[in-house]
Structure 1
């Protein structure tokens, strides 16, 4: 049982959306060539984990990003408790695989303790800039009507955007033919998404061919492996001035159900 607010162990009988309904396969890194940190990663992530790296993009032309930092952005997120992950034997085994990998020295292990109390998957991004969003009662009511739902974390995932970031993939409960994370998005008037990710690990350099093949092997072996199953009872509005949410704060919590 996970004692974190808003989270509980999910019942084993929950039915989850499958890959055919979600965007993970479509969005996977192309591992046929050595992995190179892409521009979005070099702008938003690399300055925070390896600021002296020559590949850092220090600022965006419009000034929004400056060494990985930006004005405070508020988003709706699904929180994940680090302690619950680390109590999962499957997750521990996955992390041991990463630590034994030939690219292990290129993972920013030192950033993990700084983020352990703010792990999350974004459900609705950019709800507000600089100032927290006002949540209409109609929106809060619609979210309560969604009710608690289960999610299963699986992994490892490396995408075709923000190459250099490694995630766990969120597989939401399917209830009455409905994807429950899409139901939460609909409460905010957002179009349905098909990709929800818990960012965990950051690379500090490109990978060579052998390292890329090793990462591809880990991704393949762990692709559909359940790491943690949770029942989500509330979501959070979180504000942060960087994409690793190192300075994040929870503005409010929104209940799912009565």
Structure 2
């Protein structure tokens, strides 16, 4: 396992630290074992991965979900190259551990291949519903002023909302002491966020106490491990009819300002 801080220093990059992001604050409280799928997950995710589960919430008053499907929602997202991630040796090691873990039978293993070309971290959620949003000229000009920036992808992560989904974590480069994702969010009139999660694995059932402990141990041991480092040069306007983006479309690719500062190879830990 590589040391992301040492690797970053070797190529002159600094990434946002845990104290500047919300991952620790939003982590599942594993002391409250076992891990029980929460209501948001049973409404939005469980119908897609285990539709016959008795605790599926098929629909809910005031929510647009119907067995995990809803009207199209369009968001601005940071794309993750699924092929490059799959080729990463640290990720291959992590995935092998997940497949050998006691809770592995409770993971919907058919889901990751179905969404490998849509992996992303949401930066500005729900820009519009139904029809794709019209991106203003001001927003486009603001994006064009933002230079491409590096991110370090680490993981895994289980949050205090959507318990049942296991993510990877995005750590953005610090540029002049600032987080460039905040500039992206400001371009769309959004407040600065501190959680940039890449959904990867989905549970099909609750975990028992020993399975929960095994997941907590893997998360702790892999917390500081860099899985993939790359430059963000483009963002997607992504529309989806479900929260796993199984039924989705990339309606537009929005480019940041051209920058030849680093090659992808130079960023690898």
**Please, what TM-score do these two structures have when normalized by structure 1?**
0.95
- Which residue pairs with 1:100 in the alignment? 100
Write the distance in 2 (CA, Å) between the matches of 1:46 and 1:162. Answer: 10
Alignment of 1:207-222 (within 5 A): 207-222=207-222
- 1:111-139 Cα offsets, whole Å, 9 max, x none, are 11111111000010000100100001110
Q: CA deviation at 1:12?
A: 3.5
1:17 aligns with 2:16: yes
* 1:29 aligned partner: 28
Match of 2:116 in 1: 116
In 2, Cα distance between equivalents of 1:190 and 1:68: 26
Supply the distance in 1 between the matched residues of 2:179 and 2:249 (Cα, whole angstroms).
Answer: 28
Taking only aligned residues, the RMSD between alpha carbons, in angstroms, comes to 0.9
Instruction: Quote how far apart the aligned CAs of 1:63 are.
Output: 4.5
Deviations 1:30-84 (A, max 9, x none): 1111000000000000000000000100002125010000000000001111110
CA distance in 2, matches of 1:40, 1:202: 13
For structure 2, the residue ranges without an aligned partner over 5 or more in a row are 1-9, 259-269
What is the alpha-carbon distance in structure 2 between the residues aligned to residue 209 and residue 90 of structure 1? 27
Moved more, 61-70 or 205-214: 61-70
Structure 1 equivalent of residue 65 of structure 2: 65
Which one is further off, 41-50 or 111-120?
Answer: 111-120
What's the secondary structure of 1:43's corresponding residue? helix
What SS does the aligned partner of 1:132 have? Answer: coil
Helix, strand or coil at the partner of 2:95: helix
Query: Cα deviations across residues 12-44 of structure 1 (Å, max 9, x unaligned)?
Result: 322100000000000000111100000000000
- Partner of residue 178, structure 2: 178
Provide the residue aligned with 1:254 in structure 2: 254
Structure 1: give runs of 5+ residues left out of the alignment.
1-10
Q: Which residue of 2 aligns with 1:4?
A: none
Task: Provide the C-alpha distance between the structure 2 equivalents of 1:99 and 1:15, rounded to a whole number of angstroms.
Answer: 32
The count of aligned residue pairs is: 248
State how far apart, in whole Å, the 2-side matches of 1:37 and 1:181 are.
30
Aligned to 2:265: none
Q: Give the secondary structure class of the aligned counterpart of 1:229.
A: strand
Moved over 3 A (4+): none
SS in 1 for 2:145: helix
